[in-house]
Chain A
Amino acid sequence: MKVFWEKCKVITICLGMGILFSSCKTTQEVITPVVEENKLVVYTSHKEEVYEPIIKEFEERTGIWVELHTGGTSELLEEIAKGNGEFTCDIMFGGGIESYCAYSDYFKPYVCSRNNSIKKQYRSKDGSYTAFTELPIVFIYNNKLVDSGRAPTGWQELFYQSWQGNIAFGDPLKSGSSYTMLVTLIQAMGMEEDVTLKQFARALEYKVSAGSKEAVDEVSSGAKAIGLTLEETALKAIDNGADISIVYPKDGTSTVPDGCAIVIGTKHEENAKQFIEFIVGDDVQQLAVDRLHRRSVLENLQQTGDESLKVLNYDVEWAGTHREEILKSWANIIAEQGR
């Protein structure tokens, strides 16, 4: 009798479970799951218009599925540092190489097969990063407000009384490229950083734009007469119809490239290497020139921009190591005078 009841219970429970779970359906997989060997986790600080075609083409050509995480350069690098090599990130793509120098401990050295084709000054000494494209800093001016003959031609001219309060410049505390511009200015002016910072702040009348793109917008809209920005941003704005012109400083400018590096502890090292090879390949470099308004890091690639570009000997390491200090004194100057 007892056994009978036990059986009854079991059958009831089974029935109940059957009813409850009968709604859970199983579907055959239409698409095969992505295997681990076919994945690559990419952290990028590039804008979508930059990374999108590159990632798409990379996937298309290699069949590797890219998992993308976007964010600001320092934010992503900080995340990688926090993971201490155990993080799931495979590769960091985008951001100036001076940032890479500061975080070189977290990158796995890799010298790409085309290293010798890359311009000498952009080759990493320890191989921890690979340069992607060079980004010259340029002056821009509003064609309506500034006569081409009157436009500034060198760094010194920025301090002229006539431009005071009329220069668009992104906030270096927020924008990495603006910091590069600041350091370029310091280096162009002969390394008297405190004097230069104070003079420049006065020339800006202690007002900065939100970012380098906003700086271009200000010039294009006529709010400011001249501005400092990256050649890429300026060319894109011109392409989109902005009535501005570019001036390459006659005393030279910095062309700090952005980079790409394999993160220590990568789980997909082979794929990461493939990615590096891909971005320094002719096609991507050509695309950077043709579509992205960037300059290739390769020696022998046809450039579209002004060939007369004079390159300043920019000390990347100095820029990296003095970053905190310079930004601090800049912030102080702006804060004091802004009162």
Chain B
Amino acid sequence: MGKRVKRTFKQELLTSMIAVSVLPLAVCSLFLIQLFQLKISKDYQVRDMELAEEVNSRMEQLFSEFSVLADEICENDDIAEALRNSDFTNSDEIYRTLYRKTKELRDDAWFELYSMDGICQYSTGTGTYQKKLEPYWGILRKASEEAEKFVVLRADEPSGNAVLQAAKLVQDEQGAAGFFVINMGTSEFENVLKGTYGGQDGICILDGFMETVFSAGSTADENPGAALRVRLLQNEPIQSDYNGNSVYLDKIEGIELYVILLRPHIFTEDTVNSMYTVLFIMIAVILILCVCLVYNLSNRLSRPIKVLNQTMHEVQMGNLDARMQEDWPTTEFAEMSGNFNYMTADLKKNMEKEVEQQKQLNEIQIAMMQAQLNPHFLYNTLDTVKWVAKANHVPEIVTLVSKLAKILRAAISKKQFTTLREEMELVESYAQIQRIRFDGRFECICTYDEKLADCELPKLVIQPIVENAVIHGLSECEDGHVYVDAYVGEADDAPALIVEVRDDGCGIGQEVIDRLNNGGLQEPTGHIGLGNVDKIIRLHYGEAYGVKISKPDQGGSLVTLTFPLRKEKTIDAKNSGGR
């Protein structure tokens, strides 16, 4: 499929609308108009043909009767005799014969008998007696040249009222004696063709050279024959329109005549134009209707989609409170909006639930971790041991137990946060215990600025680090040191409390360092304490804080803890928050 230009919903809709409304209308109407025109003109053509047929048959009938009459007259010896002798005495006899024989036809023509020199001797018409026709010219010449034939010719000027003449040579055994001439004038034609044509039609009879012989009806005063003759000579189509009339031409068989029927067009240009105008107005109205409908419909359809799109975008940007309006007029859109809103609400609920769960989980984790170091009973026992040792004067045990108790107290405490000072004291307590245990093989040096003493940090986060350093870093050393330093550094573009725990022991494995630094603290390893500390810090303060391990060049290992720089007040506030 070819490349498609992207179109809007509105355009698509408009195209389809036009395709289903205007196109069928236009095609149907055009088809109808054409069909109508075709049908009407065909009907009229058929009528024309019938009319021409009627005219044809009447003319043929008439001329065959004329022909028979001419034969009878021309074979009459008396008539020949009378024509040959100008001083013939029995002219009344001839007239009687003539009138008797022409009785039936005298309404359709008048009849004349000419002598060979073209003088009219007998006539059933008026005022034509002794009229002269040139025997070498026109009808008489034709009749004498075609002696045995009945000839027909358009009449010219000296023939008086006659428009068409037919003649035959009168002969007997002595030879040619004269001419029998049949004359038809305009009124005779009207009589013959009476009733064949209506007032609107034009009828015209032409001779073989397309000259008008008789013209009646609407063309009575015109000369369509001349126009058709010009057409014929210019090789133009004969039957094309004449003066807004359709032209039908037919030949009258037997005699060299043509009949033309002219009929005004039922479908004049005006009618067709007004039909087309109506069609165009209809199309225009439908087009306007289409546009309005499309505008309305596309608004109804595309606005919800637009709103949906916008709302979805908002949700995408993180606003789960975004809601769509639900009162669309279209059921489907109302449903869709409802579903979308439901979905968004559900999503929000799920998110909140998940956050809550995560929080709970974290708290449980912390609580569990703290519970590991919270044996109440152990504390009470240790107190007892301390008093027993004091009674028995064993100062090492007293120290040992009192320091252990201090550590335990801190561990048992419900507080989750402590100050740097307390934590450092805790570290020192632990160091003292371990010095006794390890027979003074190491030293723990804690240094911090007094200004930082009130800084907040989760409890029991430095001690596990120091423990690690003592147990794993210095286990092989005879004279080890653990340095714990606190100072102000920077983390996440803010001032931070940095606590460094450094030892000069055997160091730490590179693999452990990598794993710790890459956040792989969740897995239980030998340094479980370290992992827990990191996790606690991160849970409390976020990913920017936590534990980092490195291997300094001078040997041993360096653990750096990073906390946000906060004072004790906030700690109290937090602790009093019930957590």
Contact = CB atoms under 8 A, between A and B. Distances in A.
Contacts of A282: 136
A65 B233 CA distance: 8
Interface in A9-26: 16, 19-20, 22-23, 25
A67 B230 CA distance: 8
A31 B256 CA distance: 11
A27 to B, nearest CB: 5
Interface in B49-106: none
Which of B141, B156, B235 gathers most chain A CB within 10 Å? B156
B227 to A, nearest CB: 13
B250 A30 contact: yes
Interface stretch (A50-58, A103-111, A143-151, A224-232): A50-58
Which of A20, A27, A49 gathers most chain B CB within 10 Å? A27
A27 B250 CA distance: 11
A212 to B, nearest CB: 21
Interface string B1-15: 110000000000000
B453 interface: no
B158 interface: yes
Contacts of B210: 31
Contacts of A30: 238, 249-251, 258
Given A2-B2, A31-B232, A34-B232, A57 B38 contact: no
A324 to B, nearest CB: 37
Nearest to A35: B235
Interface string B110-137: 0000000000000000000000101011
Nearest to A27: B239
A221 to B, nearest CB: 25
Interface string B151-169: 0011011100000000000
B200 to A, nearest CB: 21
| Interface size range of chain A in the complex | 20 to 34
Nearest to B52: A30
A59 B229 CA distance: 13
B504 interface: no
B156 A52 contact: yes
B276 interface: no
Contact of A31 (B134, B153, B230, B258): B258
B467 interface: no
Nearest to B23: A12
A28 B41 CA distance: 16
Contact of A53 (B2, B156, B235, B258): B156
Contact of A23 (B2, B34, B141, B209): B34
Nearest to B239: A27
Contacts of A287: 134, 136-137
Interface string B228-253: 01101101001100000000011100
Given A2-B1, A30-B249, A283-B136, A60 B157 contact: no
Nearest to B136: A283
B37 A23 contact: yes
A290 B34 contact: no
Interface string B381-411: 0000000000000000000000000000000
Nearest to A15: B27
B163 to A, nearest CB: 13
A291 B158 contact: yes
A52 B137 CA distance: 13
Interface in B213-233: 229-230, 232-233
Contacts of B251: 30-31
B138 interface: yes
| Interface size range of chain B in the complex | 35 or more
Contact of A60 (B30, B142, B229): B142
Nearest to B37: A23
B211 interface: yes
A267 to B, nearest CB: 13
A53 B157 contact: yes
Interface in A60-112: 60, 65, 67
Contact of B138 (A19, A25, A53): A53
Contact of B141 (A16, A49, A283): A283
B438 interface: no
A290 B157 CA distance: 13
B34 A20 contact: yes
A185 to B, nearest CB: 34
Interface string B447-479: 000000000000000000000000000000000
A39 interface: yes
A54 to B, nearest CB: 10
B541 interface: no
B342 interface: no
B196 to A, nearest CB: 18
Contact of A56 (B37, B141, B211): B211
A39 B229 CA distance: 12
A23 B30 CA distance: 12
B327 to A, nearest CB: 42
A29 B231 CA distance: 13
B31 interface: yes
A175 interface: no
A55 to B, nearest CB: 9
Contacts of B141: 283
A22 B134 contact: no
Contact of B209 (A22, A33, A65): A65
A291 B134 contact: yes
B31 A59 contact: no
Interface of B: 1-2, 27, 30-31, 34, 37-38, 41, 45, 132, 134, 136-138, 141-142, 153-154, 156-158, 209-211, 229-230, 232-233, 235, 238-239, 249-251, 258
19 contacts: A1-B1, A22-B34, A22-B38, A23-B38, A34-B232, A34-B235, A49-B157, A53-B157, A56-B209, A56-B211, A60-B138, A60-B209, A65-B209, A65-B232, A282-B136, A283-B136, A283-B141, A291-B134, A291-B158
